[in-house]
Amino acid sequence: MEQQHKQETASEKLNNALKNSVSIKLLSIGFLIGILLIPQSMITSLIDERESSQYQAVTEVSQSWAAPLELTGPILTIPFDDVYADGKKEVYVKRFAHFLPENLNIAGDLNPETRKRGIYDVVVYTTHLDITGNFDQIDLSAFTSFPDRIRWDEATLTIGIPDMRGIQSDVRFELGSEIYRMESGIPTHLQLDIAQGSGKEQTGVNSLVKIDPEQEGTDFSLKLDIRGTKNIMFNPVGKSTHVTINSSWPHPSFIGQFLPDAPKITEDGFTAEWSVFDLNRNYPQQWVGKQHRIASADFGVTLYQPVDNYQQNERSAKYAALILFLTFISFFFIEILNKKRIHPIQYILVGLTLTIFYTLLLSLSEHLGFAQAYLISAGIVITMLTLYTISILKSTKLGAFMLLFFSLIYSFIFIILRMEDFALLVGSFGLVFVLGLCMYLSRKVDWYNIKSRDKINTATT
């Protein structure tokens, strides 16, 4: 019996310490916040997993539809025999000289579509491109001193297209007075360095063409019906390259090395024009072999989906520790200023409710959109916490205060999430305000005498 009485006494001492010691209470709150951040990290991993599933859905649709388009060309390649002496005999090495257009004009209509893969929306498009321009007179004197060793009959025209499945009709190239039906594939010896050092094989179309070395210039034209996923890119291979794209998609995001000149964006779509010159890029109009990397100067547009649920969820989850801290510190001040007692188990239940908010938000946003999901999730959690506060504190007034508190804090976080450019500024001032409020509420608390005052009050009662 004495041992049992001693155990009960020790238990009572621990319970009284939790009740009356401010230091132990603060340490326990900090410990609980650390524990509750463990499931929060699991939620962050879940967001990454769902985002990966979305990326996989985009990949699967791309594999069935077509990859993003990056148009490279047209490029004219003419072989010649390089001659050098090896002892007493001449050695001939076949080389390839590449020539780019003098002018390149591309005009296209981009028609977007939204395809579903499970619960995910994937943006794809079809486009009709009108490509015109001209080549200047072809002169190989800079590369060889033996004009009789130039293989004019092997002159080849190539156009780089990353995914041949996107081509929707015959590719017929008009060069001068001749029309050529392009063949699939680019021979290995004609491939250029367009894969940004990845070692990726260039794909596209090619055709043997007739070139008159005496002709001062040759016009060309091409109509290309092609489809792709999300992005459309161009390489400015012309000495003067002009690209015009019209689309009904209202949310373009311009990417690459060059931005369009004064794009027009409305709710009904956009029109964008690019003008790029040879001096703006880092490769010349003609060269031999694979001396230059063309893709380093690409540009284009992404059909941007303005509401990225997973990015918004990830940003929201970053504020979990802040919300836990503000909630627990609010309950702590209620304990101090209103002589209420809240058990660590009750803190844990409140913290778990705050954590469930993020799983609700993630699951609902995949079906309803982020804003509506945030409103519903916040409404559910705020209602639960308000009713629980009234229940454990036996005070409708304190319940109403916590209702206001949670409404303000979730509204504040939502505003920060929407204000991407000013999120840090607004969040910093918000934290300063909260810290100032805590300092104001605690200005008259005698922290050293809280325990003794509680004992006096208990004895008086």
What's the token pair of residue 460? 């008086």
Across 173-187, 283-297, 333-347, which has the greatest mean pLDDT? 173-187
Which of 16-30, 290-304, 312-326, 408-422 has the least mean pLDDT?
16-30
Dihedral angle of Cα 130, 136, 142, 144, to the nearest 10 degrees: 80
pLDDT tens sequence across 437-453: 767 766 666 655 655 44
pLDDT at 103 over 80: yes
pLDDT at 335: 74
pLDDT tens sequence across 153-166: 999 999 999 888 88
Q: Are residues 143 and 234 in the same domain?
A: yes
pLDDT at 100 over 80: yes
Q: Does 59 map to a domain?
A: no
pLDDT at 427: 65
pLDDT at 225 over 90: yes
Tell me, letter by letter, the H, E, C secondary structure of the chain: CHHHHHHHHHHHHHHHHHHHCHHHHHHHHHHHHHHHHHHHHHHHHHHHHHHHHHHHHHHHHHHHCCCCEEEEEEEEEEEEEEEEEECCEEEEEEEEEEECCCEEEEEEEEEEEEEEECCEEEEEEEEEEEEEEEEECCCCCCCCCCHHHECHHHCEEEEECCCHHHECCCCEEEECCEEEECEECCCHHHCCECCCCCCCCCCEEEEECCCCCCCCEEEEEEEEEEEEECEEEECCCCCEEEEEEEECCCCEEEEECCCCCCCEEECCEEEEEEEEEHHHCCCCCEEECCCCEHHHHCEEEEECCCCCHHHHHHHHHCCHHHHHHHHHHHHHHHHHHHCCCCCHHHHHHHHHHHHHHHHHHHHHHHHHCHHHHHHHHHHHHHHHHHHHHHHHHCCHHHHHHHHHHHHHHHHHHHHHHHCCCCHHHHHHHHHHHHHHHHHHHCCCCCHHHHHHHHHHHHHHC
Q: Are residues 272 and 229 in the same domain?
A: yes
Q: Does 425 map to a domain?
A: yes
Of residues 175 and 66, more confidence is placed in 175
pLDDT at 370: 83
Q: Does 13 map to a domain?
A: no
pLDDT tens sequence across 191-207: 775 544 444 577 899 99
Q: Does 229 map to a domain?
A: yes
Q: Are residues 44 and 28 in the same domain?
A: yes
pLDDT at 426: 67
- Domain span including residue 135: 69-305
Of residues 393 and 280, more confidence is placed in 280
Across 172-186, 200-214, 411-425, which has the greatest mean pLDDT? 172-186
% of residues, the chain, pLDDT over 90: 28
- Environment class of 388 (CB within 10 Å of its CB; exposed 0-12, middle 13-18, buried 19+): middle
Q: Are residues 359 and 215 in the same domain?
A: no
Stretch 353-370: mean pLDDT, rounded? 84
Q: Does 268 map to a domain?
A: yes
Q: Say how many domains are in the chain.
A: 2
Q: Are residues 170 and 221 in the same domain?
A: yes
Q: Does 7 map to a domain?
A: no
CA distances from 23 to 17, 30, 145 (A): 9, 11, 90
Stretch 352-374: mean pLDDT, rounded? 85
Mean pLDDT over each residue of the chain, to the nearest integer: 80
Domain boundary among 305, 339, 364: 305
Other beta carbons less than 10 A from residue 288's beta carbon: 15
Q: Are residues 246 and 112 in the same domain?
A: yes
pLDDT at 459: 35
Q: Does 1 map to a domain?
A: no
Which of 118-127, 191-200, 297-306 has the least mean pLDDT?
191-200
Of residues 303 and 21, more confidence is placed in 303
Stretch 337-348: mean pLDDT, rounded? 76
Across 46-60, 78-92, 225-239, 434-448, which has the greatest mean pLDDT? 225-239
pLDDT tens sequence across 3-12: 444 455 655 5
Q: Are residues 323 and 209 in the same domain?
A: no
Q: Are residues 98 and 205 in the same domain?
A: yes
% of residues, the chain, pLDDT over 70: 80
pLDDT at 19: 55
pLDDT at 16 over 60: no
Q: Are residues 203 and 352 in the same domain?
A: no
Please provide residue 133's backbone torsions phi and psi, each rounded to the nearest 5 degrees: 165, -160
Which of 62-66, 75-79, 137-141, 209-213 has the least mean pLDDT?
62-66
Q: What is the CATH number of the domain that holds 264?
A: 2.60.40
Q: Are residues 110 and 245 in the same domain?
A: yes
Q: Are residues 238 and 115 in the same domain?
A: yes
Domain boundary among 252, 280, 305: 305
Q: Does 321 map to a domain?
A: yes
Q: Are residues 301 and 315 in the same domain?
A: no
Of residues 421 and 323, more confidence is placed in 323
Whether pTM exceeds 0.85: no
CB 112 within 8 A of CB 125: yes
Domain boundary among 271, 305, 339: 305
